[in-house]
Structures are given as structure tokens and as C-alpha cells.
Structure 1
Amino acid sequence: MTCAELLIRLLRDTYGVDTVFGIPGVHTIELYRGLEEKRGLEDDGTDKTIRHVTPRHEQGAGFMADGYARATGKPGVCFIITGPGMTNITTAMGQALADSIPMLVISSVNRSDTLGRGQGRLHELPSQQQLVAGVARFSHTLLDPSALPEVLARAFALFEGARPGPVHIEIPIDLFPAEVAPPHGRTSHEWTRPRIGRTAPDPVLIDAAVELLNGAKRPLVLLGGGCVAAPDAARQLVEILDAPTVVTVNAKGLLGAAHPLDLGANASLPAVRELARDADVVLAIGTELGETDYDVVFDDGFVIGGKLIRIDIDPEQLGRNQHATLAMVADAGRALEILAKRCSEASKHTPNGSSDGSTRGAQITAAALEALALPTDPAFAPYVPLFDTLQQSLPEAIWVGDSCATVYAANHLVSQPAPRRYFNSATGYGTLGYGLPAAMGATLGRPDLPVIALVGDGGIMFTLSELACAVEEQLPVVIVLWHNQGYEEIRRFMDNAGVTRLGVDIQAPDFQLIAQGFGCAAVRVDSPDSLTRALTERNAKAPLLVEIDAAAWCHHVR
């Protein structure tokens, strides 16, 4: 078979890839030879065929792959052309890198005998690999077709056993049609993926951690996106410790909806920061302890006053942002399971309860949330009826957000029943244009759940063309567009800094007319009642754009 055909068969048959996001180009047409072939049916009767989705821009392809990966836990896969295709997708790769999201980007590159020669060939870059390497865990140029199985195995080993992120494999266009024998004389169907184990923490350090945790009088737990695969263990551990717990934006839903020990993603706010300063032992697992989760007010005010136990799959991360008393390299889920078991065995007491059945940790958590008073805060109050309406109408929905006003509020206010049901681009890299295509990727990955995209009138313009793809693929995404006449967040920062507003009061198009031009249903709402009607009456098999005039909404709910 050819190198391109082997790639397709390995992705489909060995690694279980069922969806690929890509825009075909003259350099990648060989990748599409055999892509439509069906392997047949799985044991459960499902069709084992790779579905190809065509975005309208490579940045959209990357965001779709990102949303697919976050919703499913499986790597999102893209087929991208040489040169401009790769420069277009690098922003999406940067977001995935910042949030440790598994993404496999397969691209073409110029003919192997022309690489680096600067001959002015179609799509030529001086070094495509060097350009992309900065937004990838690794970037590899395939120069020997027979090495393809090894390179793919390396990529999926990273996704499963290390800190994940984007991986880029580029293949010279002359190697796509090159004949290649199946690996080790087997057929591609017989090539099995290696079984990757999860890294367990050092037993000696676990003993020390358990001693610290069980001796703590004022424990605090910080759980990040690295923990999302182990919600049961996470919940069990924090309940054994009776510890107030911060869950970052990417860990929302880890403890379930409105858990009595859940402080939410509110580590930047005063009452939670006070707990961090006063805690005698802080346990941080699977979290960078980075600015966009712990310091969104940008004052370096998140201070850990006691001993810090830190666990992360990335050893370098253990030395960043906060000084750890005890640091362990381990898979977050494995560490949670072991700690929950060990702390339960070693615990000599039960959490202190009160007459109403609440524990001391729950009382501390409730007091902190009461002190924050987020639902009545003037900055958040207008969004409370919006989120209540969305949750009542679509209680099981995955929420996917851009960098916009509704997302900034939802990060603090919204609680989800399970992990992988809330994510956005406001943390980490902080790109615009993410919300719509990432929500489409989530819909493709989890068709059993409704998906809500929270976007603003500024950010959606970066990837508005993906409405065409949503209609073409009949993806029932509910796009909630908060229209506040420009870049409201930047306006606020300019005002606070005493800078005259410039470039932020931008003119918006008629979103209703544009949506209709794409064939997408659209409606304007200005109140919870009209939003409820729109959601109740929507076609659940097609996308819907719900445009909310921010000023009218705030006036109505005031």
C-alpha cells in the first residue's frame, strides 16, 4: 500500500480515529485516497469509518479538533496543507498546547528533495517544522515511510502517558504515494497499539503526603484539568479530607453539580484567597497554578501560606509558579485514586459535623461563597437569569465558550454535573474565535448531549464562516451570541487605565441576516422568557443562533 493509505488504516483500525477535520488541497489529495473506505462493523454494530468534516478555515479545523478532544478525551485529528494551512492552524494549536489538549495535526510539506532550498515552490516555508514546533509537544518530518507506525505510536504514547498537547507530523508530498510494506510484515489491521500505563506516584512521597494531609487542620485542595478522568476518586478524596476545593475552569464538574466542598473556579477572588493563605496544607493536583485560573485580576495576589503538596504529570511544572514542599511526578487520576485509598485507611477521625448534617469543610466552603456573594454582585447579576434559563432548558448540555463577557461570568457562576462539559478559550492562551468551532467539535464527539456555544459579537467574527460547516453537517449547536457592540472587556481595561477608547467600538453586521444566508435558523431575544421559548421551539437537529442584545437584556432583568 502507499504511505498515505497506511496512515489512514493505522488511524482508523489501530488508533480508533473516527473523525478528521481538514480542508483538502493539491498537496494533500493523496491523504483522501481510501479515506472513504469502510473497515466494516465493530462488535457492537457501529460503523468503523472515518468521518471527514470540512471547516472553512484551518483555524476552525484546529478549534473543532480541540473541542472534540475536550468533550471525548480522545485526540482531535486534522489534515492540513503545506504552508498557509499550517500558519492558519497554529493559533488553535497554541490554545491546545496551553490547556494540554491532545491534538494530532498531519500535514503535507514540500517534496523531500526541495526542503530548505528556497526555490519559491507552492506553499514553501524556510522550515515549516521549525515554525510549528513552538506550538507542539513535538513536530516530526517523516523522511522514511516505513517509520510511520513508530512516529504515530510515539504521538499516541504522549497523548496517553505524558502531558498531552498538539503533535505535528509532516509528510513530504513525494512520500504520500510511496509504496510501503505493512509494519513488521503484518497487515495494517494486525498492527496493535502499545498499551500505555499511567505513571504512579513514588510510594515514599505518598506516605509523606498522607501524613501531612491527615494531620492538616485547615486543608485546601486545588484540582485542575489534569484530573478530569477521575471524578469519583477526586470526590472521594476531598470528602475524606473534608477540604474546601478549588476546581479550575477546565475541571468544572469534577465534584458534580453544587458539591458542598466546591469553591468553583474562584481562586482569584478574596474569600478563596484568604483560605489559601490560611491553609496549613494545600494539595494541588493536575493544575499549572497559572495566572488565568488563580490570578485573573493580575495582581499576583494568590499566596499559599502553608505546606504545598503538588502532583503533576510534567516534572517541569512542579517547579513553576508556586514553591512546593512535596512534589510528585504522576498521572493525576492515578494519584487521586491512590491518595483516596491511603487517606481513607490512615484517617483516624471522621469529619466534624453539625446539627444540620454539614461538615466543617462544607461550612467553610459555604461561608466563603456567601462572602463572595457572586449572584448579587452587580458585575455578575445580569448573567444569573441567563445561565439559569440555559441550565433549566438544556440541563445536560456541554458549555463551550469564547473569550467574551458571558464566559467570564460563567467561569465564576456555573456549576456542571460532570467533567468535560464546560470549557472555553478565556484561560491559557486566551484566543478569540474559539467558541463556535470548538462547540461544533464537541457536538461531533458527543452527539448524545446538547451543546451550547457562548460567544460575543466581537469574537465570533474570527470564525463566523464556520456557520456554513455547522449547517452542512447539521450540527445542533445552540449559539448564544451576547451582543454588546464591540470589545467590552478591552473597553473596560482602557477606561480603568485612563486610555482613550480606540478600536474597540466596532461596527457589527446583521447577524440574523448572515445566519439566514448560511441557512442557519436565527432569533433575537431580550428576556429569559423569550430565550426559553427559543430553546423550547428550536429544531434539535440543526444549529440555532440566539442573539441577545446585551443592553436590552440587562435593562429587562434589572
Structure 2
Amino acid sequence: MPTPAPSGPPAPTTPITGGEALVRALAAHGVTRIFGIPGTHNLEIYRHLAAHRIEHVNPRHEQGAGYAADAYARTSGRPGVALTTTGPALLNIAAAVGQAYSDSVPLLVVSPGMPLRHPRQSTGLLHETRSQTEALRGVAAVSHRVSSVGEIGVAVARAFTLFRTRRPRPVHIEVPLDLLTEAEPAGAVRTAPPVPPVAADPRAVAEAAGALWAADRPGIVLGGGARGAAAQCLRLAELLDAPVVTSANGKGIVPESHPLALGVSLHSPAVRRWLAERDVVLAVGTELAESDLWAPPPALGGTLVRADLDPAQMYAGLPADIPLVGDARPTLHALLAALPALPAPPGRTGAHRTVTALRAERDAGTRELDGHLLPYLAAMRSVLPANTVLTSDSAQCCYNGALPHLPVGPEGRYLHPTGFGTLGYALPAAIGAKVAAPDRPVVALSGDGGLQFSVQELATAVQLGLTLPVVVFDNGGYGEIRDEMAARGDRPVAVDLPPVDLPALARAYGGHGVRADSPEALAEALRHALDTQGPTLITVPEEPSR
């Protein structure tokens, strides 16, 4: 059945329901797809989706909807939107909201709430919750309960304004369920105003340029906030002959095959020592956080230049000596423009040799953790096109393996749940990424423990007919926690999971499943999966403990 054509927005004085006002506002902001699960209290929203040409993807769990919308946003560059019903459904998505907050992802979660005049004392209403907004305020940047149909459009416009003008983080909008069905004049459609990106203060840019140009030992750290300025980051690194290290969210902003690229190496003691020895460090769009360093931030011996959209970052963790508050692209463009006007600095040489030595020292120090993974990651890289989107989980094969050792460039993308460190992200995130970019190859990478947090989303991938390889390194449970227990001298408890035939489970859902016992078998299975409709789960068996 063809999708009904929209009839155009109602006149400002025409009464419409809150459900229609919400969908109308989302459509006005360019939303064409949402992720969610229908429930008794949100049906008035679903009623209007088709008329406004908004497509719906229904994962099997609200947490999966949140992760899918998160990855949709990261891949498309547009906010992801998730729709839940009341009570348990909204609380189910809270973990995904917390992850989006940690990784600065523009995620909009919309839910119904208890009626406007619902008594404070419990009445036993279906899905009754003491305070949904208080619960979501603990994990989102904003949780806002509207009080009229006319306010719904304003709340949506405000959310999109926040996404454009501040560090992008999740927003929750709650619409009381009686407002969803009551008809009131909603007023004119309000949309977030266009906001041009702003560069940092010119005086601060000039000071930063002078410090970087005169540095003997410059270094660059890139986080996810630098992604929109990839070309400027590479040009700065080459102009300054400065090695570049990235956070997990900054992976691939500078090609990891570049002679100046240290990749995702902030966890390496050798790289942290190198960073502490720089006389000037330029950090762009990164928290310099413990979750990236796997240790407290190092004491820097030189000048720290921080470029970030969020002014609070200038005082967080390692305070900036020279703060550059502004969008990364215009700020770095201004920084590049300021450099040629300065006198030529003393010649700097040897950065390439430094990077080669640091890579070798990094790899020697972590070989016990990641050495067995390297042949498999090399096999994956040999098969995957350069523009592949890889989604990742909080699994050893990801943070010990793929993050530092599976090279990615700006044409590709690697999505990892940093900071909050949720499990079960990879599979639903891969679905969201594939929905956002259907013509790009997308591959999920997970461990057997993390996969089983959201394995039911295989059914979603089957339903959508997505070509989606899912590579699972199976170490028989929660390998990281098992190793931590052993390191403490404890007897491992509750970390060994009974074996599951995951390829057979994938086939039971209607997908495909194979086992890869060698790097060559993994390459062949991955090559075939990239040409096969539907998800293909590829299990790589590991030793239960290392």
C-alpha cells in the first residue's frame, strides 16, 4: 500500500491532537525514520507517522531501539529519534540514553507520561511510574514534560536547537497521555533556527598558533568532537610534523595508516609517557578521559591547547592553558590560517620515526592481551571495503583488539560505546547504521557475553532484510571480568557461560550462521556474508581464559 501523501500542516487555529502535533513537529525537523515499539499509551503517535512520511523500525527491545537510534545519528549526522511507551519501556531505554550522553550523541527519546492531572499518590494505572522525567534526568541532558498541545512543537524545536548549539547529548520529551488524544490548537509549526558554526576567539587562536608553531615536541589528541574537521586535523598534523593519537570516538579521523598516526593508543603506557613529554599538546573535541586512557589523565609537562564546543571542557580533567571554545572545523581553519603568518620555526624532524618506535613499544606491551587477535583482525581488514562502518561492543576483541589494531580512515567509521561502557551495543547499533547508510557495508563486532544482551535484534535484521555480518569472538563468557578476578587472586565466579551454538541461533531467527576456526576461514565467511541478504553470525572460538 502506498504511503499517504501529507495533507499539509493544519492552520494554526485548527485543533489537532497531541499525537499529531508531535509527529508534525518531528517531520518539520526533517525526521524521516524513528526506532521504537508500540504500546497501549503511544498509539496516537503511531496513527500519524505514515501521513507525515516517517518510517518506523521496530527492534525487539527498547534498549535496542536506543542503540539503533544512537548509531543512526553517528552514521547519518542527523539526530536519532526513539519512541517508547510509558513505564518499563522508557526505563528499558535508559541505558542507551546514558551511552548517548557519554558519547555526545544527539538522541531524542519521546514517550507518553501519566495524565496531566494524575494524582501524586499511586492509583494503579497501567505503567504508572513515580516520575519518568526524574528517572531520565539522571541519564539525559534534558528531560522535559510538556503541559499543553501547543507546547509540544516548542519542546521539539528546543531539542533540535540544543543539538545544534551545544555539545550534542540526549533529550527526553514526555507528553502526558491525555494530551496525546486531546485536540487543541497547536499553533504554527516551530522549527529550530539555523545556527552557523562559530570559531574560537581570534586572540586565543593567535596564541595557540604561536605556541604550536614554536613547539619543539608538539602532539595532537583527537576525540569525537573533531570528526567534522578531519581535513583540517590532517593538515595541522602534517604542517606541524606532530604525531596524532585519538580517543575511541576519534578513531579514523586521521587515516590510521598515515605515518604520523598512533591510532587509538591512549591506553598504552608508552604513548601516555610520550604525551606527558610534549611541550605543546593540541586536544580537539576530547575529554582526555579515564575511559580512553585506562588510567587517570597524565600530568603534562608543557602547554595544553584545548579546542572544544563545550566551555566546561576547558576546566575538566586537564585544564586548558589556552582555551579555544568553538566548533572544531572553523576553529581549526582559523588556526591553519594563522600559522603561515608566523616566522618559520626551527626545523622539526623525526616524528615519523617516533611514531614507528611508539607503535612497536605499544604492541610489545600489549601482546599478551591482543596478540592472538591480530591475525583475525588483519583478515577482516583484508576483506572490508574502506568505507565500512564497524560497530563495537564492550568486549576484549574490541577494546584490546579492533580499536587499536583494525585501521580505519575518514571514509570509514568505527562506533564504540565509550565511557558509559554498555554491553549489547554492537548488534542493534549495526542495524541503525545500516538503516542510515544502506549502500555502505556495516559489520558488528562483539563477544559472546555482550552479544547475548541484545541477540534478539537478529530478528530485526532478518525482518529488514539487512546484509549484516556479525562477528562474535566467543571466549565462553565475560572474559574481561574473568581476567580481573584472576588478577586479584580470586576464584572466577559467575563469568563462565554455558556454550551456546550462536550460528544455529542466528539460523533459527531466519538468518545465517557459520563458525570460523582460523583467520582464513573468517576472511572467507566475511566475504560471503557481505554478499548475502540477511544477517550472518560468524563465531570465532577463543580459549576460555588467557
TM-score interval for Structure 1 and Structure 2 normalised by the shorter chain: over 0.9
Of 73, 80, 97 in structure 2, the residue corresponding to residue 76 of structure 1 is 80
Q: Are residue 403 (structure 1) and residue 394 (structure 2) matched?
A: yes
1:234 matched residue in structure 2: 233
Q: Are residue 338 (structure 1) and residue 334 (structure 2) matched?
A: yes
Q: Secondary structure at the match of 1:175?
A: helix
In 2: Cα distance, 1:325 partner to 1:519 partner? 56
Shift of 1:368: 1.5
Q: Secondary structure at the match of 2:514?
A: strand
Q: Are residue 370 (structure 1) and residue 360 (structure 2) matched?
A: yes
2:374 matched residue in structure 1: 384
Change (3 A) 1:115 1:137: farther
Farther off after superposition, 328-337 or 477-486: 328-337
Farther off after superposition, 82-91 or 302-311: 302-311
Output one character per residue of 1:104-145: Cα deviation in whole Å (capped at 9) or x when no partner: 000000111105332221111111101110111101001021
Q: Are residue 321 (structure 1) and residue 311 (structure 2) matched?
A: no
- For structure 2, list consecutive stretches of 5 or more residues without a partner in the other structure: 1-15
Of 103, 106, 109 in structure 1, the residue corresponding to residue 110 of structure 2 is 106
In 1: Cα distance, 2:445 partner to 2:339 partner? 40
Q: Is the 8 A contact 2:388 2:412 kept in 1?
A: no
AA paired with 1:389? A
Farther off after superposition, 86-95 or 336-345: 336-345
Write the mapping of 1:445-456 to structure 2, written as runs, cut at 5 A. Answer: 445-456=436-447
Farther off after superposition, 202-211 or 1-10: 1-10
AA paired with 2:118? T
Change (3 A) 1:338 1:111: same
In 2: Cα distance, 1:375 partner to 1:545 partner? 32
1:52 matched residue in structure 2: 56
Q: Is the 8 A contact 1:526 1:552 kept in 2?
A: no
Farther off after superposition, 58-67 or 330-339: 330-339
- For structure 1, list consecutive stretches of 5 or more residues without a partner in the other structure: 39-48, 353-358
Output one character per residue of 1:449-469: Cα deviation in whole Å (capped at 9) or x when no partner: 111111111111111111111
Output one character per residue of 1:517-540: Cα deviation in whole Å (capped at 9) or x when no partner: 110110111012212222233343
TM-score when scaled to structure 1?
Answer: 0.91
Q: Are residue 266 (structure 1) and residue 281 (structure 2) matched?
A: no
Write the mapping of 1:12-411 to structure 2, written as runs, cut at 5 A. Answer: 12=27, 14-37=28-51, 49-114=53-118, 116-181=120-185, 183-184=187-188, 188=189, 192-294=191-293, 296=294, 298=295, 300=296, 302-346=298-342, 348-349=344-345, 352=348, 359-373=349-363, 377-395=367-385, 396-408=387-399, 409-411=401-403
Q: Secondary structure at the match of 1:106?
A: strand
In 2: Cα distance, 1:420 partner to 1:532 partner? 19
In 2: Cα distance, 1:106 partner to 1:439 partner? 22
Shift of 1:97: 0.5
Q: Is the 8 A contact 1:477 1:542 kept in 2?
A: yes
In 2: Cα distance, 1:303 partner to 1:517 partner? 53
In 2: Cα distance, 1:144 partner to 1:419 partner? 45
In 2: Cα distance, 1:420 partner to 1:76 partner? 20
Q: Is the 8 A contact 2:94 2:136 kept in 1?
A: yes
Output one character per residue of 1:317-372: Cα deviation in whole Å (capped at 9) or x when no partner: 221111321223212232222212222443525864xxxxxx53223222211322
Change (3 A) 1:224 1:55: same
Output one character per residue of 1:382-435: Cα deviation in whole Å (capped at 9) or x when no partner: 22221121122122311111111210211111221216610212x210111111
Q: Is the 8 A contact 1:65 1:441 kept in 2?
A: yes
Farther off after superposition, 458-467 or 369-378: 369-378
Output one character per residue of 1:167-186: Cα deviation in whole Å (capped at 9) or x when no partner: 000001111123244534xx
In 2: Cα distance, 1:305 partner to 1:525 partner? 47
1:543 matched residue in structure 2: 535
Q: Is the 8 A contact 2:276 2:300 kept in 1?
A: yes
In 2: Cα distance, 1:24 partner to 1:115 partner? 25
Shift of 1:200: 2.1
AA paired with 2:270? A
Write the mapping of 1:408-557 to structure 2, written as runs, cut at 5 A. Answer: 408=399, 409-418=401-410, 421-425=413-417, 427-538=418-529, 539-551=531-543
Q: Secondary structure at the match of 1:229?
A: helix
Change (3 A) 1:143 1:526: same
Farther off after superposition, 363-372 or 121-130: 363-372
Q: Is the 8 A contact 1:268 1:302 kept in 2?
A: no
Q: Is the 8 A contact 1:393 1:536 kept in 2?
A: yes
In 2: Cα distance, 1:123 partner to 1:263 partner? 50
Q: Is the 8 A contact 2:34 2:83 kept in 1?
A: yes
In 1: Cα distance, 2:345 partner to 2:173 partner? 53
Farther off after superposition, 261-270 or 301-310: 301-310
Of 11, 14, 23 in structure 1, the residue corresponding to residue 26 of structure 2 is 11
Change (3 A) 1:347 1:115: farther
TM-score when scaled to structure 2?
Answer: 0.93
- Indicate the RMSD between aligned Cα atoms, in angstroms: 2.0
AA paired with 1:393? V
1:44 matched residue in structure 2: none
In 2: Cα distance, 1:434 partner to 1:262 partner? 27
Farther off after superposition, 309-318 or 488-497: 309-318
Q: Secondary structure at the match of 1:551?
A: coil
